[in-house]
Amino acid sequence: MIKKFIKKIIVIEIIILFAISSFSPVFGLNTKNNPNTIMSTEENNSTLESEIKNIEIEIDFSNPEIVTYKDYIIIRIKETDLNRMDSGRPVIPVNLSIFQLPFGTEIVDIQYQNSTPIIYDISKKLAFGSTPRTDNMINTKQENNIDKSVYENSDPYPSDWVSYHTGGGLSHGIHKTFLILRVYPVRYIPLDNKLHYIEQITVNISYREPTKPIIEENNVYDLLILSPSKYKRNLEPLVTHKNNFGVSTRLITLEEVYEEMYWQGRDKQEEIKYFIKNAIENWGITHVLLVGGLKGQTFTWDLPARYSRVVPPEEQEYAEESFISDLYYADIYDSLGDFSSWDSNDDNIFAVWNGTYKEEMDLYPDVYLGRLPCRTNNEVKIMVDKIINYEKEK
């Protein structure tokens, strides 16, 4: 059964490879990937998972400094890096560790052992994180925003000594999987007016690296410029300039992108994003320049923007449904190397982040990306001249 399934996958992969090689004029010309490597697909599919590796860290914490501030208490601990400040919830010091692992690494398990908690009685409540104010909230007291579900509870806050998340993105030009580990040396029991504090914790992280690199090494181009074809003529001097400056550059028009990506991507934005993904994998690009802003005085784009819905209405100064985000085009992969679509529930509404639903988004950029939001050829020419003059004078 499994064999049959693997065979099926191989057949599908071969079909896809043929499809890519025959319908891929842009990448077909320059890709260094050898189509004769199809045989190795079988080996890769049958390879067992790589061995589990471990990292162990031990952290010692100094005694907490308990500071009274007005009607509240603030805690400071020397070995912490920041405070967890959720709106209306207790402010808690955090020890932060960031690990950079090979791109595509999977976190298998995180275990910890902590010293016996020491209990402190406190006389006042722990201070809480403030809530962003909007115009119509200017006279309301911050006390009204206190999160009673936490403060009128005898459950420890935060719920555990340790939390973590992962991400996939660039670190100094190299694709990495990040593990962001947070240790809370103090937890708060609001109803009992108590703090639980630990002097020491040992955290053991088990992880599995990918069996083969998610992105093969390629060095065809450094910079990809994307723009509508009407700006092509005025962008060509920039391409020549960049190439002369040692930045290997390729300009692709949006018309070419849409033609190339007709089989992948549900709308123009996703087609562009998949094209950037292919350019990373086939050409090794690390930088992307988007050229194109709003068309004249309209709300349509020369080079489309992705609208996100990350700010809940109650936290907005002026109620807006959606926000432009070019981070969408830079965040190509998640921590496992899978495509980061920004629409994890597939409802064609992107980057939703509110009280009831949070889209799974990676948010760590995988290319260095910028946009010249030019509306006319004249604006393109001015920007290109400025960049060339600036870089020649440097």
Residues that bind Ca ion (CB under 5 A): 168-169, 331, 333, 343, 345, 347, 349, 362, 364, 366
Closest separation between CB of residue 276 and Ca ion, Å?
A: 12
HEC sequence for the chain: CHHHHHHHHHHHHHHHHHHHHHHCHHHHHHCCCCHHHHHHHHHHHHCCCCCEEEEEEEEECCCCEEEEECCEEEEECCCCCEEECCECCECEEEEEEEEEEECCCEEEEEEEEECCCEEEECCCEECEECCCCCHHHCCCCHHHHCCHHHHCCCCCECCCCEEEEEEEEEECCEEEEEEEEEECCEEEEHHHCEEEECCEEEEEEEEECCCCCCCCCCCCCCEEEEECHHHHHHHHHHHHHHHHCCCCEEEEEHHHHHHHCCCCCCCHHHHHHHHHHHHHHHHCCCEEEEECCECCCCCCECCCCCEEECCCHHHCCCCCCCEECCHHHHCCECCCCCECCCCCCCCCCCCEECCCCECCCCCCCCCEEEEECCCCHHHHHHHHHHHHHHHHHC
Minimal CA–CA distance to 160: which of 180, 193, 183, 126?
Answer: 183
**Of 175 and 196, CB closest to Ca ion:** 175
What is the nearest approach in angstroms of Ca ion to the Cβ of residue 336? 10
Nearest distance in Å: CB 343, Ca ion: 4
Are β-strands 52-60 and 200-208 bridged in parallel, bridged antiparallel, or unpaired? Answer: antiparallel
| Residue closer to Ca ion (CB basis): 127 or 330 | 330
Closest contact distance (angstroms) between CB of 123 and Ca ion is 46
Instruction: Please identify, using beta-carbon distances, which residue of 107 and 201 lies nearer to Ca ion.
Output: 107
CA distance 129 to 72: 12
- The residue (of 267 and 347) whose beta carbon lies closer to Ca ion is 347
Minimum distance between the CB of residue 350 and Ca ion, rounded to whole angstroms? Answer: 6
Residue 285 Cβ vs Ca ion, minimum distance, rounded to whole Å = 15
Nearer to Ca ion, 61 or 103 (CB): 103
Shortest Å distance, C-beta 298 to Ca ion: 26
Write down the least CB distance from residue 179 to Ca ion, Å.
14
- Minimum CB separation of residue 168 from Ca ion in Å reads 4
Instruction: Output 31 or 308, the one with its CB closest to Ca ion.
Output: 308
User: CA Rg, the chain, in Å?
Assistant: 26
Nearest residue (CB) to Ca ion, 64 versus 167:
167
Cβ 146 to Ca ion shortest distance, Å: 31
- If the CB atoms of residues 258 and 368 are measured against Ca ion, the closer one turns out to be 368
Nearer to Ca ion, 93 or 168 (CB): 168
Cα separation, 126 vs 72, in Å, equals: 5
Residue 336 amino acid letter:
L
Distance, in Å, from the CA atom of 207 to the CA atom of 97, rounded to the nearest integer, reads 16
Please say which residue, 128 or 333, places its beta carbon nearer to Ca ion. Answer: 333
